[in-house]
Amino acid sequence: MNVNVELEHQKHVLIVRLSGELDHHTADLVRMQIDDAIVRRQSEHLILSLKDLQFMDSSGLGIILGRYKSIKQKGGKMVVCGVNPPVYRLFEMSGLFKIMPIYENEGTALSSLEVAL
């Protein structure tokens, strides 16, 4: 299975919706698409919506951590929302929830950023 990346911009917030599988086969594509979108639209904040992501391995964690660091360096915030149980467990085991907040859905994630849209 492949990964599908849907990008949406709202002011300075990039919303990334991932579906399918984020693994070592698809990680480079996802990284390039997100990085390109951040630069092109000068995104300050990033919301990662994972409700339709069925599988993720350590390559996916690396992609997420890398985007977190780049957004943080710009003074922005990155949040995650809609995480299904298998991916949630991976986040839990890796400790990503200690540095990155998780929200139920995109609406609450967007509100958490306190960005005037």
Cα separation, 51 vs 105, whole angstroms: 8
Cα separation, 31 vs 36, whole angstroms: 8
Buried-exposed string 5-41: b where 16+ CB fall within 10 A, e elsewhere: bebeeeebbbbbbbbbbbbeebbeebbeebeebbeee
Express each pLDDT in 55-106 by its tens digit. 999 999 999 999 999 999 999 999 999 999 989 999 999 999 899 999 999 9
| pTM, full prediction | 0.93
Fold of the 3-111 domain: Transcription Regulator spoIIAA (3.30.750)
Q: What is the largest CA-CA distance in the chain?
A: 37
Domain boundaries, the chain: 3-111
Angle at 62 between CA 13 and CA 97, to 5 degrees: 65
pLDDT at 115: 62
Q: Where in 11-81 does DSSP place strands (E)?
A: 13-22, 45-56, 78-81
Express each pLDDT in 8-52 by its tens digit. 998 899 999 999 999 999 999 999 999 999 999 889 999 999 999
